[in-house]
Amino acid sequence: MADEVSKKRVLSCIQPSGMLTLGNYLGALKNWKNMSDDYDCIFAVADLHTITVRQQPAEFRKHILDTFALLLAIDLDPQKNILFLQSNVSAHSQLAWVLNCYTQFGELNRMTQFKEKSQKHADNVNAGLFTYPVLMAADILLYQADLVPVGADQKQHLEITRDIAMRFNNIYGDVFTIPQPFIGKEGAKIMSLADPLKKMSKSDENQNSYVALLDDKDTVIRKFKRAVTDSQALVKKADGKDGINNLITIYCTVTGKTVAQTEKEFEGVGYGEFKLAVGEAVAKELAPIQEKFNYYRRDKAKLEEIYRDGASRAQYLANKTLGKVMKKVGFIY
């Protein structure tokens, strides 16, 4: 099919570092779902990246399977897309080693995420944390991805991926496709409900600051009721109204309504009522996801069948690129 061949390839990965939040869903996963209609998509659970921070094995295993089940729960089609676990495809680690030798210490030393994380985990500044962007480059370059949707915090890592790829191509010829950042329409940045100047994060100590994707309806509504706003009683986006701005963004992203429509809908309406509407809209969006998540999580054999199949399709593509790289460098492959 000509149109299958000409579709651009998108690659992205998500780390299984804990229970996912509404922020992960609206900021990244919902876009994955939208892209999967128009592009040839490969999505992975980046479990290898996660051990740059020490993990408790049983919990880690659970988070990996939860995250994979969530990809299915948001209706990413495992047949149309390739969905897999990064550690199931050994080419990622293999290419990462080779690319390590084409990446300069100084380049990695400039990565802001490395600086931040080495401060946050000062007792475990391991070499993996340092070379993390090289593994990410391997994830992307193995599949000759054209487009990579990334949030602001990963932009620098995509830049270094492009630098590594161009350097390699300069030496050995056209081996890698140079990936571009995918700028989605409104990559919604969802803020904390308790402190709307901070990004919503599952690692926040205050559980009321985030909505977990698996929170039940009552919990979701309670958290929105407690969301920090202002004293104006005006449902309108404006500078300084960070709490309300955030709630409007959430409401629009979930319902597909525009900001103008939303402001009109809630004209003259108090915050209590607006918060309830946001909570209900979010709970309604999450309910079918939770139902499918539970379905896949209960059926271990089915889940395994899907990630194994994804890995074998990913491996086929990955090994083609890896083989090329190994031969170019001079290995007897």
The tokens for 33 are 């779902």
| Cα dihedral across residues 164, 5, 151, 23: positive or negative | negative
Query: Which helix H or strand E contains 148, and what residues bound it?
Result: strand 147-149
Question: Strand 180-182's sheet: what is its strand order?
Answer: 82-85, 40-45, 9-14, 147-149, 180-182
Q: How far is the CB of 110 from ligand TRP (least distance, A)?
A: 17
Site string for ligand TRP, 24-53 (x = CB under 6 A): ----------------------x--x----
Q: Which is nearer to ligand TRP, 140 or 254 (CB)?
A: 140
95 binds ligand TRP (CB under 6 A): no
Q: Restricting to residues 144-203, which ones interact with ligand TRP according to CB under 6 A?
A: 148, 150, 154
Q: How far is the CB of 147 from ligand TRP (least distance, A)?
A: 10
Q: Which is nearer to ligand TRP, 28 or 282 (CB)?
A: 28
Q: How far is the CB of 55 from ligand TRP (least distance, A)?
A: 14
CA torsion, points 72, 76, 77, 78, in degrees to nearest 10?
-60
Distance CA 191, CA 234 (A): 19
209 binds ligand TRP (CB under 6 A): no
Would strands 9-14 and 82-85 be described as parallel, antiparallel, or unpaired? unpaired
Q: Which of 10, 15, 40, 211 binds ligand TRP (CB under 6 A)?
A: 15
Q: Restricting to residues 136-155, which ones interact with ligand TRP according to CB under 6 A?
A: 136, 139-140, 148, 150, 154
Q: Which is nearer to ligand TRP, 24 or 262 (CB)?
A: 24
71 binds ligand TRP (CB under 6 A): no
**Residues known to be catalytic:** 117, 199, 202
Q: Is 81 exposed, middle or buried (0-12, 13-18, 19+ CB in 10 A)?
A: buried
12 binds ligand TRP (CB under 6 A): yes
Measured between its terminal Cα atoms, the distance across the chain in Å is 33
Nearest C-alpha neighbor of 11 from the set 128, 129, 161: 161
Q: Which residues bind ligand TRP (CB under 6 A)?
A: 11-13, 15, 46, 49, 136, 139-140, 148, 150, 154
